Copies of this chain bind each other. A is one copy, B any other.
Amino acid sequence: MSDPRYCAEIISVGTELLLGNILNSNAQFLAEELAQLGIPHYFQTVVGDNRDRLQSAVKIAAERSGLLIFTGGLGPTPDDLTTETLAACFETHLAERPEVITDIEAKFTRRGRVLTDNNRKQALLPVGAELLPNPSGTAPGMIRSPRSGLTLMTFPGVPAEMRRMWTETAVPWLHQNDWCRSILVSRLLRFWGISESALAEKVAPFFDLQNPTVAPYANNGEVKLRITAAAASEAEGVALIAPIEQELRAIAGRDCYGADNDSLASVVGALLHDRGQTLAVAESCTGGGLGQLITTIPGSSQWFWGGVIAYDNRVKQSLLNVSAETLAEAGAVSAVVAEQMAIGIQQRLGTTWGVSITGIAGPDGGTETKPVGLVYIGIAGPTGCFGVERRWGAERGRDWVRRLSAGEALDQLRRSLLNLT
């Protein structure tokens, strides 16, 4: 697998990447595609529109990878240097391709534009290179093997043009030329309610597996395990993954809430839908973020009716029936207010479940006993109501507190739904 001749490397050419003007979404797209095709890929390089530095990057890449995929630097302006630099690296001459001139002329005529000398430059390709047609733009790419064990592919930097050329020409070429030797099949298990390090300790032996491999990730309060199998076919990969997934799920129990494209909202939605139950929310510190998260799910109107954003205490009283005495005694950020909010919205809208959030998102408003990051979640269901306290801390800021609170509310509802079965 790690024979350099069978590895790909992505080389993104463009000073705008080095200035941080644009995100390198081309590299992500190509990386994902290579993984799916089962082509190993261990390095990516970004380099500016500069002949010497591009040449040095090509030299380094050609020593460690057999397939160099270039994006960018094919445009008509003088700082577009990829094609001529690659010709120079491997001592070839450039020649004008009449079919490219014809193609550009036709496109320009359709758009009412006139060919300039700059555009003629785009028709220059190294002698012996295979044309990689660009159906949606004027800059074609090329496929070329300057020596045995080394293939170069060039694409323009415009994402839509690059993607189409990749899919329509490069992928079939890679299949025909025996690059796609094995398939990578992967499955992402998703967890909530356990830290990355705690989960990593529980499943530590799995990280030593060779095929499939298991690797942990964490972001936005969510922990993930990616199981990746290299196999000769999709079915074989799935079969390799299944027993590992089963073992991991058995170890994690309900902390594993789903897989792949599942989200807490989609899992909660499916549970509610199966039971013919409905949901409403009452939000203070999240200000609508819980409802927003729920309604990312298409079709959520089948089980989500809506709710109240009770940012001001007057709204908690008037729309959610939170008692003035409780607010005065326990404070708006308390378990008892969270419970009253949850019951309030459940009763007001007549839904099966009411879920509430009240907390201190910060940066201001914290006290010694009620610090920034303190949040209460209320869950009112068919069999009663309970409140949960969470302390997210102030360090990661207001958005973090709000995001984790919305996720935790959905997770508490998920666990309640599972308990009731």
Contacts and interface: CB of A to CB of B under 8 A. Distances in A.
Given A24-B28, A119-B197, 13 more contacts: A17-B28, A19-B35, A20-B34, A22-B28, A23-B24, A56-B64, A77-B197, A79-B216, A160-B400, A291-B292, A298-B362, A298-B363, A304-B311
Contact of A312 (B197, B226, B306): B306
Contacts of A116: 197-198, 201
B312 A309 contact: no
A299 B290 CA distance: 19
A43 to B, nearest CB: 6
A186 to B, nearest CB: 8
Name the prevailing secondary structure of the A interface residues.
mixed
B197 A76 contact: yes
A277 interface: no
Contacts of A348: 318-319
Interface in A376-421: 391-393, 395-400, 402
Nearest to A40: B18
A393 B111 contact: yes
B24 A20 contact: no
A289 B295 CA distance: 9
Interface in A158-196: 158, 160-161, 186, 195-196
8 contacts: A17-B31, A20-B34, A43-B45, A287-B291, A288-B290, A288-B294, A304-B312, A314-B349
Most-contacted residue by chain B among A135, A186, A304, A305 (CB, 10 A):
A305
Closest 7 interchain pairs by CB? A288-B291, A287-B295, A20-B32, A288-B288, A20-B31, A44-B46, A305-B312
Interface string A1-39: 000000000000001111111111101111111110000
A230 interface: no
Contacts of A298: 362-364, 398
Contact of A17 (B16, B44, B319): B44
Given A118-B200, A216-B77, A291-B309, A42 B21 contact: no
A398 B43 CA distance: 34
Contact of A18 (B31, B198, B286): B31
A324 interface: no
Given A25-B23, A398-B298, A217 B16 contact: yes
B289 A292 contact: yes
A33 B20 contact: yes
